[in-house]
Amino acid sequence: MKIKLILTIALLVLAFTNQGLAQVLVTRNILDYNLLGGGARARGMGGAFIGVSDDPSAASWNPAGLTQLDKYQMGATLYFINPSLKYTTTYSDSDFPNSLKQNKASISFGSVIIPFKLYQKEVVGSVLYNRSSDIYDKRTYNFPGERRIDNFGVYIAGEDSVRIGDKEDEITGGLDIVNLSLGTKVYKDLSLGVGLNIYTGSYEYNSNQQIRFTWNPAFDTLITYHPFIKGTYSGVNFTLGALYKYRDFRIGAIVKTPFKLQEKDDVQFLKDVIINGVTITNPDAISSRPVFPVEYKQKWEIPLTVGFGASYRIKGLTLAGDLELRNFSQTKLQYPLRWSDPNSPTATMDLDWNSLTQFRIGGEYVYQNKYGAIPIRAGFRNDPRVFSDLKDVDMEFVDYDPQAGAKLMNSADVISIVNQTNGSKVTGNTFSLGTGIGWSQIKLDFTFEYSRYNTKMAGTILGKSFDIDKIEKKDSRFLVNFTGFF
């Protein structure tokens, strides 16, 4: 029965995290590796801000832009998101229709700008927090009722009857960045900046599913599986930026150094067991214990990021465009060979991810009137994904450790993707609109973003075929930003 449960988890996880075998059973994070800066104004311009970077969000885009800020100021962004997802998967002779709709609110950005002098040179410092990637997922998987299987997950008529209940999953959290930056002019209109990025954040995963066994008329055994995972992130890298101004034209460039993003998970596969007999009229849990509590660690090699941006200003109109390149095709994952053993030797695998090339364009027009400065913004960016459509995957459990040269004690601890054929690259698009109002010491900005992408996959798990023809992901976001000058 354990194999049947893990097989089911593997199918559902793989459908949405085509990121390598080490994550199949343990983590289900759905990070967006297009790590963007913060601020409602910048996002309202589609994120085309490397060549602008002239507000409290500057250090999250291009720290060289800090030199344009000569006043003490602060900014904060309140973030609302309404994700939705639809899909239908065929697993052997069963269909699993599903959809996701959820609402979430959080503070996604905060920044303080501090101008000062260092050895008689004008320097601008910034301390900011930015949620660079959200993790959110909540689903109910509809399972067929009664099945007859043996211990290896193979349907056999006349064997033990098993009734599988619906499976409920929820995961929430995010990847955050704390940034410390400095910017200064080095020659006339040429500015340079440097930022230290400290990656942090966490997520929690909860699941619940009931499986009922009937071995004979006198006995009825009910097991409730509810695995729990608490994950935390850590990592450090630097952002180097440059900005050059020539009249109304600005050009900027940034480099983000490569680093290893570590995920540390506290994994607990919990289960409750209830047994009913003819002599028991009020069922009670006779056993409640953790199964495989482990501490699991894995590391991604996040590659070098190079970005370029330009902007042109004429009167109250600003037009901007960015291009960012991330070489994720060379990314490797370091993970324990056995996910249930914290002392297991580590292994490294190529993730076969796609490199990400993102372009962003946007504009802002500021209308001045007696009530204040009212901006109108619009933007667009593509949202490429590190994964591809999965044309064919063949997954099975293995019981041999090639490093140890011996069989493992528990073959269900290791999953092997023995064959994987990728299809087309997955990419999406994001459109944004924004406005606001500004006075001498206060600015309010509002932005709406709409994102969408589709993917699909097919293959077999332990000889059982599945086909997910279309997974449609949509996100609606609303950002409210406050900026104060002092």
Residue pLDDT, tens place only, 25-58: 333 446 788 999 999 999 999 999 999 999 999 9
The C-alpha angle 273, 279, 282, rounded to 5 degrees, equals 55
Predicted local distance difference test score (pLDDT) of residue 220: 63
pLDDT of residue 270 exceeding 70, the answer is: yes
Spatial contact of 64 and 192, defined as CB atoms under 8 Å apart: yes
- Angstrom distances, CA of residue 377 to CA of 47, 69, 103, 361, 364: 11, 21, 25, 11, 4
Residues 379, 44: contact at Cβ < 8 Å? yes
Instruction: Name which of 32, 9, 12, 18 is nearest 333 in CA terms.
Output: 18
pLDDT of residue 141: 64
Angle at 212 between CA 210 and CA 218, to 5 degrees: 150
Cα(223)–Cα(226) distance, rounded to whole angstroms? 10
DSSP state of 227: -
Closest to 68 in 3D by CA, of 216, 207, 189, 162: 189
- Please classify residue 370 by burial: count the beta carbons closer than 10 Å to its beta carbon, then call 0-12 exposed, 13-18 middle and 19+ buried: exposed
For the chain, the structural domain boundaries read 2-485
146 falls in which pLDDT band (50, 70, 90)?
Answer: low
pLDDT at res. 392: 76
Positive or negative: CA dihedral 121, 124, 127, 129? negative
Mean pLDDT of 354-358: 94
Quick one: average pLDDT of 468-485?
88
Give 429's strand partners: 382, 452
Tokens of 349: 């695998």
What is the average per-residue pLDDT within 162-174? 76
What's the first-to-final CA gap in the chain, in angstroms? 64
Q: Which of the residue ranges 293-302, 377-386, 434-443 would you say has the lowest mean pLDDT?
A: 293-302
Question: Which one of 2.40.160.60, 3.20.20.70, 1.10.287.1260, 3.40.50.300 gives the CATH number of domain 2-485?
Answer: 2.40.160.60
Q: Return mean pLDDT, the chain.
A: 79
Per-residue confidence (pLDDT) for residue 486, from 0 to 100: 85
User: Residue 279: CB partners within 8 Å, gap ≥ 6?
Assistant: none
Question: Token pair of 66, please?
Answer: 């800090």
pLDDT-above-70 percentage for the chain: 72
Burial of 230 (0-12, 13-18, 19+ CB in 10 A): middle
* Segments in 197-343 forming alpha helices (H): none
Average pLDDT over residues 122-146: 80
- pLDDT greater than 90 at residue 249: yes
pLDDT average, residue stretch 461-467: 69
What does the pLDDT read at residue 459?
76
Residue with tokens 């109250």: 316
Element holding 41 (H helix, E strand): helix 40-44
For the segment 284-308, what is each residue's pLDDT rounded down to a tens digit?
Answer: 445 554 555 567 788 888 999 999 9
Q: How far apart are CA 452 and CA 364, in angstroms?
A: 23
Q: How far is CA 93 from CA 89, 147, 151, 392, 466, in A?
A: 10, 12, 20, 18, 9
pTM, full prediction: 0.83
d(CA 417, CA 432): 39
